[in-house]
């Protein structure tokens, strides 16, 4: 008799413990407006989010998410409770996870870390059930149904990372451009136009992140320029090769906006007039201060559309027989592209894009008042590393 009673008690304890463990291991979050998979896990303090072994990909496979880039409002996302680190930022009601605060930036994440450190540790609370046995049976039935469902093959596509999880990258951007220079000879007020052939070059950029939203920026550019003229003057030297090296910082302001600042040193092009019948192309080394903004206009799983605004200050310089004043320029551009993941079976994020820009540069000298206008068409490949 005692043995039967003991077996019943032991069975009840085991079932209750198993049921509690099952709920603890198998809780779900209901998707709300504006949620992303990475953002949900980020707000819960889940670590190791991205990569082939990351939690985001695990959740995608466990939940059989149809579209790896989007999740639907009201959809249940099953999360292993043991992966949750921010105990003070969530609770469990029944089996549903409640998140108290959403972290959408690095600073908000740090605030949650601070709250967690100051919070008295507590386990998520569970609602009291009137009929534990009925709930237990319901859980068992649901688990069997989920176990019978066909398992989705592991996806090789990693969803887009939030703005606070940027990667170091190397960008190669070949381009072709056309130039039009309007000049006025200050000695006799002669005005002319200088046009370019189809010119080209390559702009290269490397970033190294010191924080999740702040990176050092290194750039170098090679450019070939060849000109013709439709004025009455002949160009004596019309072919030149220039290089520029830059160093600066890149800052992610928010989800849409990036800002950058660079100091560049290298070649710059000027024109001079040896006499009233000719013009000649000249170049010298000087400094340039660059301030720019990149704005993400549209971003979808298929493509992204960006806009760019850039300002330059060109330092004054002394050439062989004349001097140049401070120069100023502005540049506006746009690009459209698409990001790819796991090309060649490796976790590398590669972004391919094409774009166009217009640049207006005013850089006067003792001899000429000149305005350089450039239209550029580019194609870029950005490889995360």
Q: Work out the average pLDDT over 238-251.
A: 92
Residue pointed to by tokens 């002949």: 234
For residue 348, what pLDDT is reported? Answer: 56
Tell me: the pLDDT tens digits for 58-69? 888 777 666 655
Dist. CA 252–CA 92, nearest whole Å: 34
Q: Hey, what are 230's tokens?
A: 């439709």
Q: Which residue has the higher pLDDT, 20 or 28?
A: 28
Residue 156's pLDDT is 38
The topology (CATH level 3) of 169-384 is: Lipocalin (2.40.128)
pLDDT of residue 69: 59
In this structure, what are the phi and psi dihedrals at residue 144, rounded to the nearest 5 degrees? -65, -40
Q: Are strands 349-362 and 368-384 parallel, antiparallel or unpaired?
A: antiparallel
Higher-confidence residue of 313 and 213: namely: 313
pTM greater than 0.75 (yes/no): no
What's the CA gap between 286 and 312, in Å, rounded? 13
Closest by alpha carbon to 185, among 298, 271, 99?
271
Q: Which residues have a Cβ under 8 Å from the Cβ of 295 and sit 6 or more positions away?
A: 256, 257, 258, 306, 307, 308, 309
Percent of the chain with pLDDT over 70: 76
Can you read off the two tokens belonging to residue 114? 């601070």
Which distant-in-sequence residues (6+ apart) come within 8 Å of 260 by Cβ? 217, 248, 249, 250, 251, 290, 291, 292, 293, 294
Average of per-residue pLDDT across 17-40: 68
pLDDT per position as a tens digit, 66-111: 665 567 888 888 888 888 888 888 888 778 888 888 887 777 888 8
Residue with tokens 């019978």: 148
Residues 6 or more apart in contact with residue 33 via CB below 8 angstroms: 73
User: Measured between alpha carbons, how far is 220 from 247 in angstroms, rounded to an integer?
Assistant: 9
- pLDDT-based confidence at residue 26 (cuts at 50, 70, 90): low
Indicate if the pLDDT at residue 291 is higher than 90: yes
Distance CA 237, CA 224 (A): 13
- What tens digit of pLDDT does each residue of 130-174 get? 434 444 444 454 455 445 444 444 333 444 444 445 578 899 999
Beta bridge partners of 313: 289, 328
More confident: 67 or 205: 205
In the predicted model, is pLDDT for residue 128 greater than 70? no
pLDDT at 325 > cutoff 50: yes
**Better-predicted residue by pLDDT, 367 or 379:** 379
Instruction: State the pLDDT at residue 14.
Output: 45
Highest CATH level, class, for 2-148: alpha beta
Higher pLDDT among residues 99 and 129, named by residue: 99
Query: What residues does each domain of the chain span?
Result: 2-148, 169-384
User: Residue 110, SS3?
Assistant: helix
Is the pLDDT confidence value at 15 over 60? no
Does residue 5 surpass a pLDDT of 80?
Answer: no
Question: Using CA atoms, how far apart are residues 88 and 106, in angstroms rounded to an integer?
Answer: 18
């Amino acid at each position: 008799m005692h043995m039967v009673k003991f077996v019943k008690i032991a069975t009840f304890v085991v079932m209750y413990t198993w049921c509690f463990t099952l709920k603890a291991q198998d809780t779900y979050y209901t998707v709300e407006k504006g949620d992303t998979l990475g953002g949900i896990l980020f707000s819960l303090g889940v670590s190791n989010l991205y990569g082939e072994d990351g939690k985001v990909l695990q959740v995608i496979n466990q939940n059989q998410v149809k579209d790896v880039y989007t999740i639907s409002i009201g959809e249940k996302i099953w999360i292993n409770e043991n992966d949750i680190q921010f105990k003070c930022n969530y609770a469990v009601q029944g089996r549903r996870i409640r998140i108290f605060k959403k972290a959408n930036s690095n600073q908000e994440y740090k605030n949650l870390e601070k709250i967690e450190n100051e919070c008295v540790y507590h386990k998520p609370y569970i609602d009291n059930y009137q009929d534990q046995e009925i709930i237990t049976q319901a859980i068992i039935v649901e688990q069997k149904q989920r176990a019978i469902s066909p398992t989705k093959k592991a996806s090789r596509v990693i969803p887009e990372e939030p703005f606070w999880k940027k990667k170091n990258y190397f960008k190669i951007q070949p381009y072709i451009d056309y130039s039009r220079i309007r000049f006025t000879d200050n000695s006799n007020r002669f005005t002319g136009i200088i046009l370019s052939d189809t010119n080209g070059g390559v702009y290269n950029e490397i970033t190294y992140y010191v924080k999740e939203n702040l990176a050092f920026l290194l750039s170098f550019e090679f450019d070939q320029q060849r000109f013709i003229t439709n004025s009455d003057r002949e160009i004596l030297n019309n072919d030149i090769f220039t290089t520029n090296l830059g160093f600066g910082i890149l800052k992610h302001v928010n989800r849409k906006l990036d800002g950058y600042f660079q100091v560049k040193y290298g070649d710059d092009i000027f024109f001079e007039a040896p006499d009233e019948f000719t013009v000649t192309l000249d170049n010298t080394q000087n400094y340039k201060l660059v301030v720019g903004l990149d704005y993400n206009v549209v971003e979808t799983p298929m493509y992204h559309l960006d806009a760019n605004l850039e300002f330059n200050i060109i330092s004054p310089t002394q050439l062989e027989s004349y001097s140049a004043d401070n120069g100023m320029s502005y540049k506006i551009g746009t690009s459209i592209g698409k990001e790819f993941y796991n090309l060649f079976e490796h976790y590398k994020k590669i972004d391919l894009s094409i774009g166009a820009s217009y640049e207006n540069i005013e850089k006067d000298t003792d001899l000429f008042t000149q305005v350089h206008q450039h239209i550029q068409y580019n194609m870029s490949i950005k490889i995360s590393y």
